Amino acid sequence: MSINLFGNKEQKEESSLAQDIEDLVKRVQKRDNSDEEWLQLEKDMHEFLKEDHPQSERKRLIPLGWLEAVTIICDGIKRKRELLYIPDGE
């Protein structure tokens, strides 16, 4: 639990939002994520964009930001899974 000495609710909310975007960026920069972690990160980024965040924070993900890189990685994961899929009975 964080303590806001200034009693400024808006400042506390901005700090919380900044932690959200920083967490997402750190997870991207980790680079050795498992396939499942990459796919979850992509979902989390889309959820972040659906929420009410400042434009300055959203711009770090879109356009041509971190979300694009994660989408490319996840597209590769999804394509790999499709290629490795063998239907039952074959």
The pLDDT tens digits for 18-53 are 568 999 999 999 979 999 999 999 999 999 999 999
4: Cβ contacts below 8 Å, ≥ 6 apart: 11, 12
Structural domain containing residue 43: 36-84
Q: Classify residue 68: in a domain, yes or no.
A: yes
Q: Classify residue 14: in a domain, yes or no.
A: no
User: Helix 35-50 vs helix 66-84: angle between axes, to the nearest 10 degrees?
Assistant: 130
Peptide bond between residue 63 and the one before it cis (omega within 30 degrees of 0)? yes
pLDDT recorded at residue 4: 43
Whole-prediction pTM: 0.70
Number of domains in the chain: 1
Q: Classify residue 28: in a domain, yes or no.
A: no
63 — pLDDT class (breaks 50, 70, 90): confident
Share of the chain above pLDDT 70, in %: 72
Q: Classify residue 6: in a domain, yes or no.
A: no
Q: Classify residue 26: in a domain, yes or no.
A: no
Which tokens go with 16?
Answer: 């919380």
φ and ψ at residue 47, rounded to 5 degrees: -65, -40
Q: Classify residue 45: in a domain, yes or no.
A: yes
CA distance 70 to 45: 9
Q: Classify residue 30: in a domain, yes or no.
A: no
